[in-house]
Amino acid sequence: MAKLPGPFTGAKAWTGDQMRADEGWVETLTIEESDEIVAAVAHLTRTGVGIGELTRRNFDIPFLATRVASWSRTLRDGRGFVLVRGMPVESASSHEIELAFYGLGLHLGTPVKQNNDGDLLGHVRDTGDDPNDPAVRRYKTRVAQPFHTDGSDCVGLLCMKPAAIGGESTIVSSWSVYNAMLERRPDLAPLWFEPFSLDLYEQQAPGEKGWFDASIGNVVGDQLFTFYLRFYITQAQRHSQVQRLSDTRVEFLDLLDALCDELRLDMDFLPGDIQWLANSSIFHGRTEYEDFADPTQKRHLLRLWLSDTNH
């Protein structure tokens, strides 16, 4: 057997215990920074600039831009996540919040499509759809989201309204999960680098197959890049042409999930919180939640997928 890479060391290889002991990953906006966002949005509103015309240049935040650049470095070279607290949402309209979040995202990267409808700004909320329908993506339901990655370099979530109960965000360093498996079960660790079939949830082009193959881990230089969606792996088993998961592969996936749970960091979302995550080194999930009866108070997050986060 060829020697496995790792263990991987550095800022990306953190544990939940370490992050709970030092909450330097929480960054609270100052009054001046918050005011600068409000002013930038007010200018866009006066001039009639919508999200479709928004650019880094016309979302002018010269004071805050330096801090946003530090978030980009943290995502790319550091621990891989930041929780930004204090985005002014309580007195803003939904449109103003969308402009502010999208504008901030442009200073971190380039928004990319999140679905076949071409949405660049996603809405994470319960639509009442059946979570067991293979065409329904889980973020449109209230069920738990197991640990996974999204299809972009960075994912940003802005909390407009939290859930009545639950809906807690949970994240984990995929580097630390890999290192733990390498130490405890080196016989299973090679499966990080072997392909698994993943379901496309009816998002494939007409005439194309409904799944694709990808490995969970890839090594470039001294860096581990990860991509994981177990529920997509499980869902792909509905296709008769997909190879059945062996007992060994199920054991590997069960251990991977158990290590995620062991090493995770949990965080509540408050109104105005923004979570930025690097998909290449962070797995993220969400607990099941209960919503408020009042439709205006139901859990509602905005989501951005960003690429090119090193610009």
303-to-16, 102, 156, 160 alpha-carbon distances in Å = 24, 9, 6, 11
How much is the pLDDT for 182?
A: 98
Last residue of a domain, one of 257, 281, 299: 257
For all residues of the chain together, what is the average pLDDT? 93
The HSE-up count of residue 229 (CA atoms within 13 Å, CB side) is 19
pLDDT > 70? residue 16: yes
CA 217 from centroid of its chain's CA atoms = 17
Examine the domain organization and report whether 47 and 119 are in the same domain.
yes
pLDDT digits (tens, 9 = 90+) for 261-284: 999 999 999 999 999 999 999 999
Q: Of 212, 224, 172, give the one whose Cα is nearest residue 4.
A: 224
How much is the pLDDT for 64?
A: 95
How much is the pLDDT for 310?
A: 59
- The tally of domains found in the chain comes to 2
Contact 124, 157 (CB under 8 A): yes
Torsion from C-alpha of 42, 26, 180, 10, nearest 10 degrees:
90
Q: What's the farthest any 2 CA atoms get from each other in the chain?
A: 64
In the structure encoding, which two tokens stand for residue 61, read together? Answer: 């935040």
Examine the domain organization and report whether 29 and 120 are in the same domain.
yes
What is the C-alpha separation between 36 and 14, in angstroms, rounded? 33
Examine the domain organization and report whether 295 and 180 are in the same domain.
no
pLDDT > 70? residue 1: no
- For residue 1, is it within any domain? no
Spatial CB neighbours of 280, under 8 Å, sequence gap ≥ 6 = 80, 149, 153, 223, 225, 226
In the structure encoding, which two tokens stand for residue 258, read together? Answer: 């158990």
Examine the domain organization and report whether 155 and 185 are in the same domain.
no
Residue 101's domain is classified under what CATH number? Answer: 3.60.130.10
How much is the pLDDT for 135?
A: 65
Spatial CB neighbours of 199, under 8 Å, sequence gap ≥ 6 = 134, 210, 211, 232, 233, 235, 236, 238, 239
Examine the domain organization and report whether 220 and 277 are in the same domain.
no
Examine the domain organization and report whether 163 and 234 are in the same domain.
no
How much is the pLDDT for 206?
A: 86
pLDDT digits (tens, 9 = 90+) for 52-72: 999 999 999 999 999 999 999
What is the C-alpha separation between 83 and 44, in angstroms, rounded? 26
Domain encompassing residue 187: 175-257
Cis status of the peptide bond prior to 7, with omega within 30 of 0: yes
pLDDT digits (tens, 9 = 90+) for 128-175: 877 777 666 777 788 889 999 999 999 999 999 999 999 999 999 999
Examine the domain organization and report whether 107 and 148 are in the same domain.
yes
Examine the domain organization and report whether 222 and 274 are in the same domain.
no
Examine the domain organization and report whether 151 and 179 are in the same domain.
no
Tell me what the mean pLDDT of segment 163-190 comes to: 97
What is the C-alpha separation between 104 and 158, in angstroms, rounded? 11
Banded model confidence at residue 207, pLDDT cuts 50, 70, 90:
confident
Examine the domain organization and report whether 190 and 150 are in the same domain.
no
